[in-house]
Amino acid sequence: MSTPSIPRNTHVGWIRAALAGLLSVCIGLAIGQLVASLRNKATSPVLAVGEAVIDRTPTPLKDWAIQHFGSNDKLVLLSSVTLGVLILAIVAGLLARRMLLLGAALLVVMLVVAGYAVLSRPYGSVGQLLPTVAAGVVGVIALVVLMALAGDATAAGLLQKVRALLPNASKNDGEGVRASRRSFIIGSTTTAVLAAIGAYSAQRINDAKSALGIKLPAARTPAPAIPVGLDTKVPGITPLRTPNGSFYRVDTELSTPTLDADSWELHIDGDVENPYKISYSDLIDMGLEEQNITITCVSNPVGGPYAGGATWRGVSTAKLLAKAKVRNPERPDLQVLSTSFDGFTISTPLGALTDNRGALLAVGMNGEPLPRAHGFPARLVTPGLYGMCGCTKWITRMTVTTFADKKAYWTQRGWGTAVKIKPTARIDVPGSLATVPAGKVTAGGIAWAQGEGVVKVQISLDNGPWTDAMMGPDVNVDYWRQWAYVIPNVKSGQHTLQARVIYGDNQQQSTTSAPVFPDGSSGIEQRVFLVS
């Protein structure tokens, strides 16, 4: 039998209450993160909320975020969500100081919102709620314990009742929770340390999961080696091959998906005579080929960083689709709607995946298995079309259908469909507003005109005549090309350099300025630099 103790109506200071709220949410989040890391594909509550925010963000705002924060856009979003959660956590602590139930209720409301976000994900399922539920339960318990240690009578009473329910509890209580400055400090420090250990372990487990441990067979038809180009001759120029670690990344995922090659399957279905599915090892056994391809994001502004050139290794999509036997493949309105593991979709014209441009279902990138960030186990790479129109990462399904029948993720949000990459030139050096010594100035950069091929780049200094730059090696029409230009005698002061690409059949790139939305930027690349 327990002896109910008389509640001591100690008034909890607001700093302690705020700290109790903050720490209980921290440990809840850490445990949520830990449970998520232990379960495949489960989403932590913060990530789920962040992803739900992304899905509900209007396109112009998203566009603005990509423009302003670049590849950090996700970091900014996640930090904002975390900051919001921590502020609410403090509010929960302060509410608990007035009335324990109110504080706990706010935590429960936060839990419900996060749970709703998890379930509203395209791949949301009840099992995915586990990290969120764990976070909520741990958070509420921590709040009660910390409030009790801080001297809250209701919390102390509650703990005592719980204790009474435990076996062997009857002998040693009667005293209840001993609230003191010292026990609050010990309790809150312990909570903080446990939260840090939980978050750190979650991170380590995720890191361990990203090790692939896969060795790809060589390509039966390897791509021609990419030459050194102007890499060593022009300091600061974009390397002709982009290393995997510095390849731009654009996608809607907040954390890097950790798909498992052994259980991965690609389904090919839709308007075909022979729908089928294929495993990772059977895919590789079909025989790998390689292509040197420069891919580009539609969100790349003129002069922007969202393009990269790599040697992709994989299976020809033409071969994969031939095996499925598309019905009446000559119909011009046919598309392949490809779906990634989480339901994200991309529309690609059937022709782009079956003509001789060499589109691939890639499993390798620059001699390595596809990195997780770039779509492991497999992704599409379609030469000539923007990434959102032919480069589905973490792909699990290819459905032959018509454009009228199914709309892809970005199409639904107002972006263009089946958009060709616009030809453009980029100035890498001199850097924007860089100061260089007077005299000889070496300018250099890169240009692309996928499908047509870069013929040359021309530059103009201070609105002077357009002059041909020296060109680096021509890898192929789908690959970018470096250029360099030595300006002999530049006087001190401010200068403006412009660059344009001449491509295909000696066509000149568009001079019309267009924003990235809805079908890609255009216009002349311009750099202002200073000569001392």
Return residues touching ligand MTE (CB under 6 A).
247-252, 297, 308, 340, 344, 374, 387-388, 391-394
Is residue 445 within 8 A of residue 470, CB to CB? The reply is: no
Residue number with the smallest Cβ distance to Mo ion: 297
With CB cut-offs between 5 and 8 Å by kind, which of Mo ion, ligand MTE, none does residue 103 bind? none
Helix, strand, coil distribution of the chain in percent, nearest 5: 35, 25, 40
Taking the least distance from each CB to ligand MTE, the nearer of 248 and 485 is 248
151-152-158 Cα angle (round to 5) = 120
295-297-301 Cα angle (round to 5) = 125
In the shown chain, the binding pattern of residues 293 to 312 toward Mo ion, with x for contact by CB under 5 A and - for none, equals: ----xx--------------
Find out whether the peptide bond into 58 is cis, omega within 30 degrees of 0.
Answer: no
Q: Segment near Mo ion (CB under 5 A), from 56-64, 139-147, 290-298, 344-352?
A: 290-298
In whole angstroms, how close is the CB of 260 to ligand MTE at the nearest point? 16
Residue number with the smallest Cβ distance to ligand MTE: 387
Is residue 297 within 8 A of residue 230, CB to CB? The reply is: no
Is residue 87 within 8 A of residue 21, CB to CB? The reply is: no
With CB cut-offs between 5 and 8 Å by kind, which of Mo ion, ligand MTE, none does residue 481 bind? none
Taking the least distance from each CB to ligand MTE, the nearer of 163 and 249 is 249
With CB cut-offs between 5 and 8 Å by kind, which of ligand MTE, Mo ion, none does residue 344 bind? ligand MTE
Taking the least distance from each CB to ligand MTE, the nearer of 122 and 504 is 122
Beta-carbon contacts of residue 412 (< 8 Å; ≥ 6 apart): none
In whole angstroms, how close is the CB of 344 to ligand MTE at the nearest point? 4
Taking the least distance from each CB to Mo ion, the nearer of 155 and 336 is 336
Of 250, 283, 288, 324, the one binding Mo ion by CB under 5 A? 250
| Binding-residue total with Mo ion (CB under 5 A) | 5
Taking the least distance from each CB to ligand MTE, the nearer of 64 and 466 is 64
58-61-65 Cα angle (round to 5) = 135
In whole angstroms, how close is the CB of 297 to ligand MTE at the nearest point? 3
Compute the distance between CA of residue 523 and CA of residue 515 in angstroms, rounded to an integer.
9
In whole angstroms, how close is the CB of 81 to Mo ion at the nearest point? 23
> Quick one: tokens of 277?
């599915």
Please state, in angstroms and as integers, the Cα–Cα distance from residue 66 to each residue in 2, 72, 128, 245, 262, following that order.
60, 8, 29, 20, 34
The SS3 assignment for 488 reads strand
The answer to the question of residue 12 lying near Mo ion (CB under 5 A) is no
In whole angstroms, how close is the CB of 253 to ligand MTE at the nearest point? 6
Taking the least distance from each CB to Mo ion, the nearer of 155 and 293 is 293
With CB cut-offs between 5 and 8 Å by kind, which of Mo ion, ligand MTE, none does residue 510 bind? none
Taking the least distance from each CB to Mo ion, the nearer of 246 and 494 is 246
Closest CA to 270 of 332, 350, 340, 342: 350
In whole angstroms, how close is the CB of 396 to ligand MTE at the nearest point? 9
Bridge partners, residue 522, by sequence:
514
Compute the distance between CA of residue 19 and CA of residue 150 in angstroms, rounded to an integer.
10
In whole angstroms, how close is the CB of 411 to ligand MTE at the nearest point? 12
Taking the least distance from each CB to ligand MTE, the nearer of 140 and 250 is 250
Compute the distance between CA of residue 28 and CA of residue 23 in angstroms, rounded to an integer.
8
Beta-carbon contacts of residue 529 (< 8 Å; ≥ 6 apart): 430, 431, 432, 433, 434, 435, 436, 441, 494, 495, 497
In whole angstroms, how close is the CB of 250 to Mo ion at the nearest point? 5
What are the backbone angles phi and psi of residue 95, rounded to the nearest 5°? -65, -40
Taking the least distance from each CB to ligand MTE, the nearer of 146 and 449 is 449
In whole angstroms, how close is the CB of 392 to ligand MTE at the nearest point? 5
Residues from 370 through 399 that contact Mo ion (CB under 5 A): 387-388
First to last CA, the chain: 87
Give the binding site for Mo ion (CB under 5 A). 250, 297-298, 387-388
